[in-house]
Structure 1
């Protein structure tokens, strides 16, 4: 006989079953969906402060100066009266000076600037101003282009096509393609990597330092060339400065001391260089060094008074030399 339970007992069992089902459901929810973790605190933030940029520091023996309107030097005529032939050790050397006019004592102006590479707007303005000056000739102290390719040199030649003044280039490190100067020599108008020429009472020498060094053979060639002239004014042009005005590696890596000793020995009045995109002037043992690297390439030392686009106008008057720094304003 089937046992009968009272209604109250049935209700109790029914409630207990519902409670068990609820407990199981809550447990499933808790284990299936764990409580979300507390949000992570954001990582600490850091502010990077760039190190202070030092202003160019002068070398112990040379003075870095703010450009002055003009510098005057007196050239003492050399006592040398004979011109022994220069000794050549490399086919790229040109010993015979290129005459540009009478060798008589006279007044004339020439211009110097360097590191034009790609700064066409500035460089074209320099060319225009140099023509207005009536300069006898213009020297670019190197880095005519950026990468030394034939395409770049063809563009540079186009820039120079309307320039009517004799132009004398210097090889810079950016003018070399794969370490060679083939395109430079083909398109720049340079007769050789090293050469010299005479104008008026001046003897002007271009020497190649595009790889950052001067070998002994090149120093020997320079000495032979300088010893072969009796011109009272002697000026040398190269790309890499032989000294370091700002504490970095902007100078020749080899041959600089021999070079400076040599130009002192032969009473060179001025040495013009480029490579540093600013204007720097220094005097060492009666030889004045001028770095003119403001021909159009991006400037170094932003905000420094020596960092501006420019060229140098050089006036030769008898045995006096006057240099003027001509600033080029940019938009």
Structure 2
């Protein structure tokens, strides 16, 4: 029998240790961070810096809006991301088109993390739903089994509901027609589902910028400024690198958007009464 090298054993152990927190589907986290489109493999600096700032806030949960890496299915880039992240914090990933684009690249992700491409994460009275807009054969859509699963999850009673996905329902400037708006009828049905079940906030990436709008009482946020080349030409269009901190208080959540220099670029609150699905 060929002996297993020490290097291989170490790599396997590191991967398991790094992603072990991801295997749990509920926790008592009260606050969390949001980041997206980090593009590990092209630019590591911004993610490293933002990660340090997030951890300095005492935050141990990050929701990533996708395009973690640059080349879909690259084990080297995934391992680079794992190495930078370390064993803290827990990172929930909404897979992007630079993360997976084939069944093979999806398998790479699943084998490394032990996660399915879409899932829920409960934090006491808060429901975090992570969707996948990149399922092979279902790009730019939430449909079929995933949509049926989503409907069932939204029927569960929570006070706050946050949905994360990579491609936005309502793109701001760069990916018009290449997001969920590509299939307008499906997009509109999804938006109606969010309204019906009192979703508070929907966060996407894909566009490398920051944007926030309110549609039918839902905060639609695009947070894709984690390090990949920016898509917006001006800061007024949201063209700045950033991350988001969502802090829980007695009245709900306060969200602040920080740029690379630590300046607050946007701040808003999410409050809600107790509601069933």
TM-score by length of 1: 0.64
Per-residue deviation, residues 199-254 of structure 1 (Å, max 9, x unmatched):
13211110100222222332221111111x21201111100000122273342123
Corresponding residue of 2:157: 230
Say whether the 8 Å CA contact 2:60–2:88 is kept in structure 1: no
Distance 1:116 1:268 in 2: 26
Corresponding residue of 2:177: 249
Identify the structure with the greater strand proportion.
2
1:202 correspondence with 2:133: no
Corresponding residue of 1:292: 223
Corresponding residue of 1:110: 32
User: Following superposition of structure 1 onto structure 2, how do residues 1-331 of structure 1 map, counting pairs within 5 Å?
Assistant: 98-101=25-28, 108-118=30-40, 119-148=43-72, 149-161=74-86, 163-178=87-102, 180-187=105-112, 189=113, 191-210=115-134, 211-227=139-155, 229-246=156-173, 248-252=176-180, 253-254=182-183, 255-305=186-236, 306-329=238-261
Q: Which runs of 5+ in 1 are unaligned?
A: 1-95, 103-107
- 3-state SS of the aligned residue for 1:157? helix
Per-residue deviation, residues 165-208 of structure 1 (Å, max 9, x unmatched):
22111110110143541122223x36211100111321111010
CA 141–203 in structure 1, closer or farther in 2 if over 3 Å, else same: same
| C-alpha displacement of 1:101 | 2.4
- 3-state SS of the aligned residue for 1:173? coil
Per-residue deviation, residues 97-141 of structure 1 (Å, max 9, x unmatched):
812128xxxxx3210010001321000111111101112411111
Distance 2:160 2:62 in 1: 17
Q: Which moved more, 1:247-256 or 1:284-293?
A: 247-256
Distance 2:98 2:197 in 1: 30
Larger-Rg structure: 1
| C-alpha displacement of 1:304 | 3.6
Distance 2:217 2:93 in 1: 26
TM-score by length of 2: 0.76
| C-alpha displacement of 1:288 | 0.4
Distance 2:233 2:122 in 1: 38
Say whether the 8 Å CA contact 2:171–2:207 is kept in structure 1: no
* Higher RCO (Cα < 8 Å, 6 or more apart): 1
Distance 2:213 2:81 in 1: 31
